[in-house]
Structure formats: C-alpha cells, structure tokens
Structure 1
Amino acid sequence: MSTSKRIVLSSDHAAIPLRQAIATHVAARGWEVVDIGPVTPESTHYPDHGAAAARRVASGDCGLGIILCGTGQGIMMAANKIKGIRCGVCSDAFSARMIRQHNDANMLSIGARVVGEGLALDIVDAFLNATFEGGRHGTRVDMITALEG
C-alpha cells in the first residue's frame, strides 16, 4: 500500500478509547492504520507520543497522522517541533477541513476530553476528505516551511 493511504495514530493515556475508535473508523474507510499509542491506562507523556507519530509522517512512512491527548494542545505542540510537520488541533469539522485545504496539514490533533466520539469521527472525516487547494495557500505554506530553518 502506498504511504498516502497509511496513517499513524498515537495518543497519551487520556485518549486511548477515542484513539481506538478512530483507528477502527479510519480502517473501515480503507486506510492502513499504524497505531503506535499505548494500550494500558498508566500515565504516559504526550510529547513522546506526538513526536513519535510526527516522525512517521515526516519520514514518509505514513502519509498522515492523527494524535490525541486530553486537550489535543500539548501533543500538537510536540508534533509541530518535528521538521516537516504541520499539525492543527481541531474541535470542529470546519477547522479540520480548512487545515488540509489551506494549510496542507499532514497531522490532526484532537482533545479526547474536549469532543465526544461522534464529533471526533466527523472531524476525522473532514480532515481525511479534504485536499490541499494550493495557489495562494501554497505561498503561505512555503512561508511556514521556511520558518523551520
């Protein structure tokens, strides 16, 4: 399977059930899921999980990534420290669609303590169904990439 249909999922302990529901949902839509998150509820560190998933995307092993923690914020911050990653935290489907269409986001972050499962699956679908529009947005994405140094 091509990397464009491989998606990495990870989370900290706070988001295991939602991550597993998303994994099932995404797999049912034809994606090869690479789930690298924890499976037991012991406390874990979201920066480790965010960076590990981001490295899979940055290396090309996976085309996209979805990461989760309690708010989605901390794990997103960690992922964005990896060169080549553009990750946004989303609590609504519109934002998830826009980060793909306008920002060419290659990762999505969701807060498991912020949104319920039904909304999370809608957010995931909006993210996965959207494509980058290019044009003036390409110039802006290039400007973001240039900030990586």
Structure 2
Amino acid sequence: MKIALMMEFSQAGKNSIVFDQLNSVASEQGHEVFNVGMKDDNDHRLTYIHLGIISALLLNSKAVDFVVAGCGTGQGALMSLNAYPGVACGYCIDPADAYLFAQINNGNALALPFAKGFGWGAELNLRYVFEKAFTGETGLGYPPERRESQVSNAGILTNVKLATSKPFLDGLKALDPELVKQAVGSAHFQACFFDGCQDDDLKTFVRSFT
C-alpha cells in the first residue's frame, strides 16, 4: 500500500513526529509512505483546503492508496477531503476510531487533530492509531455479525456520493485556478503524484499548473 501524509501550515512543526510514527508502523507492514508536506514551517504553504485537493488528486489518480491528513482539530481536513468524489475520509482521535473506521467504513483517508489533545504521549497515541489503521485485513465488520450490512452500506454511500457529485475533473476545473495552483505547487506532492499517477487526464491537468 502507498500512503500519503499531509498536514496544513499550522501543524507543520509536528510533521517529523507524525511521519516517524506512521513510517515506522507502515514499514513493518510493507507499506510505503510519501511525506507530501508540510515538512516544516518553511515548506510550501498548505491550508486544509489544499489538503482536500491534493488528497483527491492522489487517490483518484491511484498515485496512492490511502491518505493521512490533519490540521489543528482535524475537522477542517475531514470536511475538505470529503468534499471530493473518490475520497472516503474518517475522523480519528484514538486507536478505537482507527480500528472501527477500518473495519466498518473501510475508507481511504483519515483526518487527525494535530493540535487539540496533542499533549504528553501524543506520539504513542499516533503509533497505536496507525497500527489499528494499517495492520491486518480491513472491512471485516464490527461486531463481525454485522459485516454484511456494513459492507452494503459503505458501498451505497460511495454510490450516493458519486451520484450527487460532479465528475472529479469537471469539479477541479470549476475551482479557483489560484487555489489549485497553490495546492499542486509542492515539490513533494508533484514527485509523489507524477511518479504514481495512472490517469493521463489528471496528469495533464496538474502539469498545466506546474
């Protein structure tokens, strides 16, 4: 699995802490982590609005399989990521959230708070969250006897989002071009996107801003 980590400008100073925990867990499971920013306070500036755009590009192009995103509360990142088709983002505060999301909702992104509640032992909580999110098979249901209905509902919700959304590329073209330009301007994002992108139309779209 390919996993992208991203966080907005207000939490960039914690990037190395989050990356170290995520990469440690992911490497043990044979997953690859791409740190697409912000890596520090001087990195290419991203708000949680930009996180939604780049998450959707990475997931819809199949450049990555999963996104870990965050801002101060995690709520802005959650809303921004879920604004796009092809993204199913859950809100995660503790390991139980990560486990239940993986088993019941089986989405492809998590939004975490990197300021609220980020105190003593925060790195331990992160590690346990990532262990529950990325260890073992997902979509098994919880409790197990409810798996059938949970899998059905997850599929229905995906189809509802597709039915009520514009096609992804049409939606991107309707956004403020300056917003998109800032979102895709990070060298870390571009390296991850262009290396793994499997959609030529999306690749052409992003190249028009670089």
TM-score per shorter chain, which class? 0.7 to 0.9
In structure 1, give the amino acid aligned to 2:41. P
Query: Aligned residue pairs: how many?
Result: 145
- In the TM superposition, residue 57 of structure 1 has moved relative to its aligned partner by 1.9
Within the alignment, does 1:120 sit opposite 2:123 as a pair? no
- What whole-Å deviation, never above 9, does each CA across 1:91-114 have from its counterpart, x for those lacking one? 111111111100011111110012
Query: For residue 138 of structure 1, what is the aligned residue in structure 2?
Result: 151
- In the TM superposition, residue 68 of structure 1 has moved relative to its aligned partner by 1.0
SS in 2 for 1:135: helix
Query: For residue 64 of structure 2, what is the aligned residue in structure 1?
Result: 62
TM-score normalised over the length of structure 2:
0.63
- In the TM superposition, residue 54 of structure 1 has moved relative to its aligned partner by 3.1
Query: For residue 83 of structure 2, what is the aligned residue in structure 1?
Result: 81
Unmatched segments (≥5 aa) in structure 2: 141-146, 164-210
Which structure dedicates a bigger proportion of its chain to strand?
Answer: 1
Runs of 4 or more consecutive aligned structure 1 residues displaced over 6 Å after TM superposition? none
- In the TM superposition, residue 74 of structure 1 has moved relative to its aligned partner by 0.3
- What whole-Å deviation, never above 9, does each CA across 1:33-90 have from its counterpart, x for those lacking one? 1111123426642110232023212321111110010001101111111212111111
Instruction: Check 1:92–1:50 CA distance in 2 against 1; reply closer, same or farther (3 A cut).
Output: same
SS in 2 for 1:102: helix
Conservation of the 8 A alpha-carbon contact between 1:37 and 1:49: no
Unmatched segments (≥5 aa) in structure 1: none
Conservation of the 8 A alpha-carbon contact between 1:71 and 1:112: yes
Within the alignment, does 1:26 sit opposite 2:26 as a pair? no
How many Å separate the matches in 1 of 2:72 and 2:53? Answer: 16
Which structure dedicates a bigger proportion of its chain to helix?
Answer: 2
SS in 2 for 1:60: coil
Query: For residue 9 of structure 1, what is the aligned residue in structure 2?
Result: 5
TM-score normalised over the length of structure 1:
0.86
Instruction: Check 1:125–1:10 CA distance in 2 against 1; reply closer, same or farther (3 A cut).
Output: same
Q: Could you say what the CA RMSD is over the residues aligned between the two structures, in angstroms?
A: 1.9
